[in-house]
Amino acid sequence: MKVFECPNCKSPVFFENTVCQYCNTSIGYNHYLDVFDIPNNNQDNFHKLCSNFDLGVCNWLVDNNKNTEFCLACSLNRTVPNQSNTDHFDKWTKLEIAKHRLIYQLLKLKLPIKSKLVDEEGVAFDFLSENNDENKLTGHANGVVTIILSEADSVHREQLRTQMNEAYRTLLGHFRHEIGHYYWELLFDDSNIESYRNIFGDEREDYGEALKNHYNNGAPSHWNQNFISKYASSHSWEDWAETWSHYLHLMDTLETAHCFGITFNPNTEYVKKLVTNTCPNPYKTENFKDIFDASIALTCAVNSLNRSMGLPDIYPFMVPNKVLQKLTFIHNLLKKQNIK
């Protein structure tokens, strides 16, 4: 995520800001131009704030010429909590922050974003309590991403992470994983499915049985030589979604580092072997190896800083060559994708 610029005083603005902290100007994110603008500016009266701004869950702008009250990100919501349930509403607020960051990145990747509420081929988000709709779980089905509100409870999420022996579990990670399932359906057809199977395996394997086997017997031995996580080893579709989410992790963190101008200039030769000189803009970099090398340098540095503070690694994963091939496959696929 890059740092933006206040349209009034040119000071730095961060993605969730609604007011410039330097000049106190009201601002909103204009996804059409990827900038922050002043809502309903008399000189450029084209954009108004999304209706969810009044609920404190959105700072995106809507084109005044479009007959809609919701921005692109909020237009994808199908089920949201009622304001009267303050606990559920507060959890949804946290989830919306993560979802808006997801949509920002999908726009960066030039992926199609359509609401299922107006197009059956689109995507929709349901934010549900654990007791809602027959105890549905976080997941994806037929273009509907379901997120259980309890995921926004950090204590509950950490308990699940430990219980399921996961190295990493975040709100943004959930969104990235589940949206990967949605885009799998759009990205592959008879013309390229064999290239997918050569990398990720045959998705025609019985999904239910594969998950049952995974939960009963665990990951295969030496799973870490071929997969980014244990769960990725359960089925081809989960391998895709897990790898996809990690691709988005690497791209977003590297864009942040690029925006801050992070460079590496170690003063010892052996440390130089870990790093590259600069962090490129990943969305303008063709060769994924350049992205990957810079990401390794970045995560090594930040993981080491975290350890100096007694904190866990921000990226607690080793990426074997087989996973690098999968990440490269996704990058090259998106560079040439032409889905509508």
In this structure, are 117 and 43 located in the same domain?
A: no
**63-72, 119-128, 200-209, 222-231: the lowest-pLDDT one:** 63-72
| Residues 92 and 149 sit within 8 Å (Cβ to Cβ) | yes
Measured distance CA(12)–CA(3) in Å, rounded: 6
Q: Is 215 part of any domain?
A: no
Choose the final residue of a domain: 20, 50, 68. 68
Q: What is the pLDDT of residue 51?
A: 92
Residue 102 lies in a domain: yes
Note whether 80 and 146 are same-domain residues: yes
Q: How much is the mean pLDDT over the chain?
A: 88
Length of the chain: 340
Q: What mean pLDDT do residues 49-59 have?
A: 93
Asked if residue 311 is part of any domain, the answer here is: yes
* Candidate from 64-73, 303-312, 315-324 with smallest mean pLDDT: 64-73
Mean pLDDT of 261-289: 80
pLDDT on residue 262: 86
Same domain, 170 and 133: yes
Classify residue 220 by its DSSP letter: P
Residue 20 belongs to a domain: yes
To the nearest 10°, the Cα dihedral for 44, 50, 55, 59?
Answer: -60
What mean pLDDT is predicted for residues 77-85? 90
Given a cut of 90, whether residue 171 has pLDDT beyond it is no
> Is the per-residue pLDDT at 111 higher than 60?
yes
pLDDT of residue 40: 77
Decide if pLDDT at 66 tops 80: no
Contacting residues for 97 by C-beta, under 8 A, at least 6 apart: 16, 171
Q: Report yes or no on 252 lying in a domain.
A: yes
63/86 same-domain check: no
Q: Which residue has the higher pLDDT, 130 or 137?
A: 137
Query: Is residue 99 located within the same domain as residue 35?
Result: no
pLDDT of residue 29: 96
Are 95 and 131 in a shared domain?
Answer: yes
3-class DSSP assignment, residue 195 = helix
* pLDDT value for 336: 84
* pLDDT higher than 50, residue 23: yes
Q: What's the confidence (pLDDT) of residue 316?
A: 83
State which of 187, 207, 226 marks the end of a domain. 187
Per-residue pLDDT, 133: 47
In this structure, is residue 238 part of a structural domain? no
Tell me, yes or no, whether 183 and 130 share the same domain: yes
Q: What is the pLDDT of residue 340?
A: 46
Residue at 225 is within a domain: no
Residue 230 resides in a domain: no
Residue 176's φ and ψ, nearest 5 degrees, are: -65, -40
Q: Which residues span the domain enclosing 261?
A: 246-336
**Which of 48, 68, 88 finishes a domain?**
68
Residue 95 and residue 61 in one domain: no
* 164: pLDDT strictly greater than 80: no
Residues 85 and 21 in one domain: no
CB-based contact 15:60 (threshold 8 Å): no
**Nearest-CA neighbor of 111 among 254, 248, 307, 226?**
248
Provide, rounded to the nearest whole percent, the portion of the chain with pLDDT above 70. Answer: 89
pLDDT 10s digits, 89-107: 999 999 999 999 999 999 9
Q: What are the two backbone dihedrals, phi and then psi, of residue 62, each rounded to the nearest 5 degrees?
A: -120, 140
User: How large is the average pLDDT for residues 34-49?
Assistant: 77
Specify the pLDDT at position 156.
67
Distance CA(231)–CA(251), nearest Å, equals 22
Give per-residue pLDDT as tens, 209-254: 999 999 999 889 899 999 999 999 999 999 999 999 999 999 999 9
pLDDT at 226: 94
Give 284-312 pLDDT, tens digit per residue.
Answer: 999 999 999 899 889 888 999 999 999 98
Would you state the torsion angle of the CA atoms of residues 236, 238, 244, 250, taken in this order, to the nearest 10 degrees?
Answer: -120
Which of 262-271, 273-282, 304-313 is the most confident on average? Answer: 304-313
Do 102 and 165 belong together in one domain? yes
Q: Which residues contact 244 (CB under 8 A, 6 or more apart)?
A: 176, 177, 180, 183, 184, 330
| Pair of tokens at residue 186 | 């759009």
Specify which residues 5 forms β-bridges with.
12
What percent of the chain has pLDDT above 90? 65
The torsion defined by the Cα of 164, 165, 171 and 177, in degrees rounded to 10, comes to: -80
Q: Which one, of 54, 84, 87, 59, lies nearest residue 73 by Cα?
A: 59
pTM of the model: 0.89
**pLDDT value at residue 26:** 93
Q: Say if residue 86 is in the same domain as residue 159.
A: yes
Q: What is the pLDDT of residue 337?
A: 72
Task: Based on the fold, state whether residues 82 and 159 are members of the same structural domain.
Answer: yes
What is the total count of domains within the chain? 3
Residue for token pair 């939960």: 215
Dist. CA 282–CA 225, nearest whole Å: 26
